[in-house]
Amino acid sequence: MAVLTYREALNRAMTEEMEKDPNIFLMGEEVGHYEGAYKVSQGMLAKFGEKRVIDTPISENGFAGVGIGAAMVGLRPIIEFMTWNFSLVAIDQIINSAAKMNYMSAGQFPIPIVFRGAGGAGGRLAAQHSQSFESWYAHIPGLKVLAPYTPADAYGLLKTSIRDNNPTIFIESEVLYGSKGEVPEGEFLIPMGKSDIKREGTQLTIISWSRALMYVLPAAEKLAKEGISVEVLDLRSIRPLDEEGILASVRKTNKVLIVEEGWNVAGFGAQVAYLIQKEAFDYLDSPIERITQEDVPMPYAANLEKSSLPSEEKIIKKVREMIQ
Amino acid sequence: MSQPKTKKETEDLLELYRQMLLIRRFEEASAKAYSMGKIGGFCHLYIGQEAVGVGAISALEQKDYIVSTYRDHGHALARGLEPKSLMAELYGKKTGIVSGNGGSMHFFDKKKNFMGGHGIVGGHISLAAGIAYASKYREDGAVTLCFFGEGAANIGSFHEGMNLAAIWKLPLVMICENNHYAMGTPEYRALSVKDVSVRATAYDIARDHIEGDEVRKVRDHVKVAVERARRGEGPTLMEISTYRFRGHSMSDPAKYRTKEELDKYKQGDPLIKAEKDLLSAGWAQEELTKMDETILKTVEESVDFAEKSEEPPLGWLYKHVYAENV
pLDDT of residue B3: 79
Contact (CB<8Å) B167/A70: no
CA dihedral A99, B120, B89, B112 (to 10 degrees): -80
CB distance B173 to B225 below 8 Å: yes
Pick out chain B residues at pLDDT < 70: 1-2
Helix axes B50-57, B270-280, angle to 10 degrees: 70
DSSP states of B210-264? EESS-HHHHHHHHHHHHHHHHTT---EEEEEE---SS-SSTT---TTS-HHHHHH
- Half-sphere exposure of residue B228, counting CA atoms within 13 Å on the CB side? 21
CB proximity A56 to B under 8 Å: yes
Strand locations in B56-99 (E): 65-68
CB-based contact B134 A96, cutoff 8 Å: no
Q: Checking DSSP bridges between strand A76-83 and strand A53-55, what pairing results, if any?
A: unpaired
Q: Do A69 and B126 touch (CB under 8 A)?
A: yes
Q: How far apart are CA A31 and CA A49, in angstroms?
A: 12
Superfamily of domain B7-307: Thiamin diphosphate (ThDP)-binding fold, Pyr/PP domains (3.40.50.970)
Residue B68's nearest CA partner among B41, B15, B106, B29 is B106
| A59-97 pLDDT, tens digit each | 999 999 999 999 999 999 999 999 999 999 999 999 999
- With an 8 Å Cβ cutoff, the interface of chain B facing chain A consists of 65, 67, 98-99, 101-102, 106, 108-110, 115-116, 118-120, 123-135, 137-138, 156-157, 160-161, 163-164, 167, 319-326
DSSP state of A299: P
Residues of A with CB below 8 A from B94's CB?
Answer: none
- Contact partners, residue A316, CB within 8 Å, separation at least 6: A219, A222, A223
Domain A2-183 shares a fold with domain A196-323: yes
* Domain limits, chain A: 2-183, 196-323
The answer to whether A92 contacts B123, with C-beta atoms less than 8 Å apart, is: yes
Determine the Cα–Cα distance for residues A131 and B293; give it in Å rounded to an integer. 63
Rg, C-alpha atoms of chain B = 19
A164: amino acid identity, one letter: D
Is A129 an active-site residue? yes
Chain centre to alpha carbon of residue B101: 20
- C-alpha distances (whole Å) from B63 to each of A250, B57, B111, B145 are 55, 12, 10, 11
H/E element holding B296? helix B285-308
With contact defined as beta carbons under 8 Å apart, do A153 and A111 qualify? no
Architecture of domain A2-183 in this structure:
3-Layer(aba) Sandwich (3.40)
The secondary structure of residue A104, as a DSSP letter, is H
Q: Is A59 on the interface with B (CB under 8 A)?
A: yes
- The answer to whether A139 is a known catalytic residue is no
A298 burial level (CB within 10 Å; 0-12, 13-18, 19+): buried
- Can you point out the beta strands (E) in B72-186? 114-117, 144-149, 172-178, 181-182, 185-186
Of A153, A69, A165, A149, which Cα lies nearest the Cα of A114?
A165
pLDDT tens-digit map of A266-285: 999 999 999 999 999 999 99
Task: Mark B252-282 as b/e (b = at least 16 C-beta within 10 Å).
Answer: beeeeeeeeeeeebeebbbbebbbebbeebe
Q: Is the dihedral of CA B2, B8, B10, B13 positive or negative?
A: negative
A237 touches chain B (CB under 8 A): no
Using an 8 Å CB-CB cutoff, list chain B residues near A61: 126, 156-157, 160
Distance from CA of B239 to the nearest CA of A (A): 21
| Element at A53 (helix H, strand E) | strand A53-55
Helix spans in chain A (H):
6-20, 44-48, 60-72, 91-92, 101-104, 134-138, 151-163, 213-225, 243-253, 268-280, 302-308, 312-323
Interface test with A, best of B111, B138, B160 (most A CBs within 10 A): B160
Q: Is A57 on the interface with B (CB under 8 A)?
A: yes
pLDDT per residue over A203-221, tens digit each?
A: 999 999 999 999 999 999 9
Of the candidates A60, A80, A231, A289, the residue annotated as catalytic is A60
Residues B53/B24, Cβ–Cβ less than 8 Å: no
Task: Round to whole Å and give the CA distance between B179 and B182.
Answer: 8
Average pLDDT, rounded, for chain A: 97
Q: Give the ipTM.
A: 0.96
Q: What is the predicted pLDDT for the residue at B1?
A: 62
Residues of B within 8 A of A66 (CB-CB) are 126-127, 129-130, 133, 161, 164
**B80 neighbors B111 (Cβ within 8 angstroms):** no
Q: What is the percent of chain A with per-residue pLDDT over 90, rounded to a whole number?
A: 98
Taking Cα atoms as reference points, which of B188, B13, B167 lies closest to residue A59?
B167
Tens of pLDDT, residues A141-150: 999 999 999 9
- Alpha carbons A258 and A212: distance in angstroms, whole number: 10
CATH topology assigned to domain A196-323: Rossmann fold (3.40.50)
User: Could you tell me what percent of chain A has a pLDDT over 70?
Assistant: 100
> A30 vs chain B: nearest CA distance in angstroms?
15
Best to test chain B binding among A23, A54, A105 (most B CBs inside 10 Å):
A105
Q: What is the pLDDT of residue A123?
A: 86
Q: Residue ranges of the domains in chain B?
A: 7-307
Among A129, A139, A294, A312, the one annotated catalytic: A129
Q: In angstroms, rounded to a whole number, what is the distance separating the alpha carbons of residues B222 and B208?
A: 9
Q: According to the model, what pLDDT value does residue A16 have?
A: 98
CB contact (8 A) between residue A66 and residue B119: no
